[in-house]
A = this chain, B = another copy of it.
Amino acid sequence: MTDTIRVKTHELKEFVKNVFMKVGMSKEQAEITADVLVIADLRGIESHGVARLQRYVDDIKINAIKINAEFKTVVETPVSLLIDANGGIGQMVGYETMKRCIEKARKNYMCFATIRNSNHYGIAGYYTLMALKEKMIGFSFTNSAPLVVPTFGKDAVLGTNPISMGVPTKQERPFLLDMATSTVPRGKVEVYARKGDSMPKTWATDEKGCATTDAKRVLDNLANRKGGGLLPIGGEGMINAGHKGYGLATLVDILCGVFSDGAVGTDVYGKKNQPPEVAHFMGVINPAAFAGQDAIENKMDYFIRLLKHSQLAEGQDRIYIAGEVEYEATEANSVTVPLMKKVLDNLNAIGQNYDLVLKGE
């Protein structure tokens, strides 16, 4: 990789934590929020990692992220929670709510929570990973800024609304699905725009709502709300099942925005310089609710081996399980982690205001 510089992982975490403390977060808030961002980089999901630090800092400064917000429990039953984040830090409300879900699932077999009035909470998979650490089954979903067009629609009404599920295993690596319901995230369109490459026709639509290969045009249209946007998984129309990706993106917004009576669709990030009213949905199932810890973990190992040892298609050398690539990246990045040079420069530009420096290797 050209243009990347490796930094020490623990130094990166420390740096991001210190920046957050300088802009007013408590030590605990800063630690957790930094952890969510850095773990995205370790997992190879740079789009959701420390490259976003500037945005978080800016949002805290204009009070779009309210670091002193109190999270209010609006509804609580033995197996469910509805939390109002009151414009607070997405990572904090996600972390605290997931901890409560784990506790309640330990006692009551499962717990699902819906959260409204939140902010960007980082990678959905962070919260499923929390459940996995406790050998529980985790789920995490969020709505997000409208970038995705409904099937047959011209305008971006839905977010890239990810689906994450994690299931513990015995000897194999856990199953950890964490996928946007759009064919690709905006970041991938940006890569094509920078290089001037043509995109596949299943990724995005132009200002008329028709599939396009022109990445720069799509980004320009999205920035200026001229129409078009990312396509749901399956692409344009119904022939490649784009309506299924659209259905899944809608499902995610229902779990998050509808179940919490929060913001849905274009209401998310609907007001400039205000809290974006992001909504999340997360939950935990205790394996004892079904076949039990051992049986489920053993069957997971069996199923994973069945998939991985099945015959390969011509020219291929490996069948992957959801999460496997990210587990391998995390291991490779445990001591040092690669950052794009411009991301490192940006971190140091932020740090300069607070006498904080992050050195590359």
Which of A's residues lie within 8 Å of B, judged by CB? 74-75, 77-80, 82, 108-110, 112, 114, 149-155, 157-158, 163, 165, 167, 175, 177, 179, 181, 183-184, 200, 202, 205, 208-210, 227, 233-235, 239-241, 243-245, 247-248, 250-251, 253-254, 257-261, 264-267, 285, 288-292, 295-296, 299-300, 302-303, 306-307, 310-314, 316, 318-322
A109 touches B78 (CB 8 A): yes
Chain B residues with Cβ below 8 Å from A314 are: 154, 208-210
How many copies of the chain does the oligomer comprise? Answer: 2
Pair A319/B260 contact, Cβ less than 8 Å = no
16 contacts between A and B (CB under 8 A): A80-B109, A110-B110, A152-B312, A153-B311, A154-B310, A165-B254, A167-B254, A175-B250, A179-B248, A183-B240, A202-B240, A209-B316, A250-B303, A257-B299, A260-B291, A264-B302
Smallest beta-carbon distance A13→chain B, Å: 29
Contact residues in B for A313 (Cβ distance below 8 Å): 149, 152-154, 205, 208-210
Asked whether B253 lies within 8 Å of A311 as measured between CB atoms, the reply is no
Tell whether, in the assembled complex, residue B266 and residue A200 are in contact, meaning their CB atoms are under 8 Å apart. no
Q: Quick check: B152 and A110 within 8 Å, CB to CB?
A: no
State the CA gap A80–B50 with chains docked (Å).
40
Instruction: Say yes or no: A244 contacts B240, CB within 8 Å.
Output: no
B residues within 8 A CB of A320?
Answer: 151-152, 243
C-alpha gap A151/B307 in the complex (Å)? 10
